[in-house]
Amino acid sequence: MASVYGNIYSFFIGHHLVVVLNDYHSVREALVQQAEVFSDRPRVPIVSLLTREKGIVFAPYGPVWKQQRKFSHSILRHFGLGKLSLEPKIIEEFKYVKEEMQKHGEGPFNPFPIINNAVANIICSLSLGQRFDYTNSEFKKILNFMSRGLEVSLNSQLQLINICSWFYYLPFGPFKELRQIEKDITTFLKKIIRDHRESLDAENPQDFIDMYLLHVDEEKKNNSNSSFNDNYLFYIIGDLFIAGTDTTTNSLLWCLLYMSLNPGIQEKVYEEIERVIGADRAPSLTDKAQMPYTEATIMEVQRLTVVVPLSIPHMTSEKTVLLGYTIPKGTIILPNLWSLHRDPAIWEKPDDFYPNRFLDDQGQLIKKETFIPFGIGKRVCMGEQLAKMELFLMFVSLMQNFTFALPKDSKKPILTGKYGLTLAPHPFNLIISKR
Ligand code: HEM
Q: What is the pLDDT of residues 311-337, one digit of tens each?
A: 999 999 999 999 999 999 999 999 999
DSSP 138-163: HHHHHHHHHHHHHHHHT-GGGGHHHH
- What angle is formed at CA 418 by the lines to CA 40 and CA 388, rounded to 5 degrees? 60
Q: Percentage of residues in the chain with pLDDT exceeding 90?
A: 80
Q: How far is CA 203 from CA 47, 126, 188, 215, in A?
A: 37, 18, 26, 13
**74 compared with 150, residue with greater pLDDT:** 74
334 and 310 Cβ atoms separated by less than 8 Å = yes
Length, in residues, of the chain: 435
Measured in Å, residue 43 CA sits from the centre of ligand 1 at 19
Q: How far is CA 389 from CA 131, 271, 283, in A?
A: 18, 21, 11
Q: Which atom of ligand 1 is nearest to the CA of 314?
A: 15
Domain boundaries in the chain?
A: 2-434
Task: List pLDDT tens digits, range 328-374.
Answer: 999 999 999 999 999 999 999 999 999 999 999 999 999 999 999 99
Measured in Å, residue 239 CA sits from the centre of ligand 1 at 10
Sign of CA dihedral 32, 379, 77, 214: positive
Residue 223: what pLDDT? 86
CA quadruple 95, 96, 99, 101: dihedral, nearest 10: -110
Q: How far is CA 142 from CA 81, 116, 136, 189, 192, in A?
A: 27, 12, 10, 9, 12
pLDDT bracket for residue 148 (50, 70, 90) = confident
pLDDT bracket for residue 139 (50, 70, 90) = confident
Residue 111: what pLDDT? 97
CA–CA dist 396, 99 (Å, integer)? 16
Measured in degrees and rounded to the nearest 5, phi and psi for residue 270 equal: -65, -40
- What residues form DSSP beta bridges with 225? none
Q: Percentage of residues in the chain with pLDDT exceeding 70?
A: 99
| Residue of 247, 371, 422 to mutate, ligand 1, most atoms within 8 A of C-beta | 247
**CB burial class (10 A; 0-12, 13-18, 19+) of residue 29?**
middle
* Whether the predicted pLDDT of 257 surpasses 80: yes
Q: Which atom of ligand 1 is nearest to the CA of 386?
A: 27
Average pLDDT score over the chain? 94
Residue 143: what pLDDT? 84
* Whether the predicted pLDDT of 81 surpasses 70: no
Contacts 24+ apart (CB under 8 A), 269-272: 269/293, 269/294, 269/297, 269/399, 270/399, 270/400, 270/403, 270/435
| Residue of 51, 212, 371, 381 to mutate, ligand 1, most atoms within 8 A of C-beta | 381
Q: Provide the whole-model pTM.
A: 0.96
Residue 83: what pLDDT? 67
Residue 67: what pLDDT? 96
380-406 burial: b if 16+ Cβ within 10 Å, else e: ebbbeebbbbbbbbbbbbbbbbbbbbb
**419 compared with 264, residue with greater pLDDT:** 264
CA–CA dist 223, 229 (Å, integer)? 12
- What residues form DSSP beta bridges with 13? 16
Task: List pLDDT tens digits, range 194-235.
Answer: 999 999 999 999 999 999 999 999 999 988 889 999 999 999
Residue 381 annotated as lining a ligand binding site: yes
The matching CATH number, chosen from 3.90.1150.10, 3.30.420.10, 1.10.1060.10, 1.10.630.10, for 2-434 is 1.10.630.10
Range scoring the smallest mean pLDDT among 70-74, 157-161, 237-241, 367-371: 157-161
pLDDT bracket for residue 409 (50, 70, 90) = confident
Task: List pLDDT tens digits, range 16-66.
Answer: 999 999 999 999 999 999 999 999 999 988 889 889 999 999 999 999 999
pLDDT bracket for residue 188 (50, 70, 90) = confident
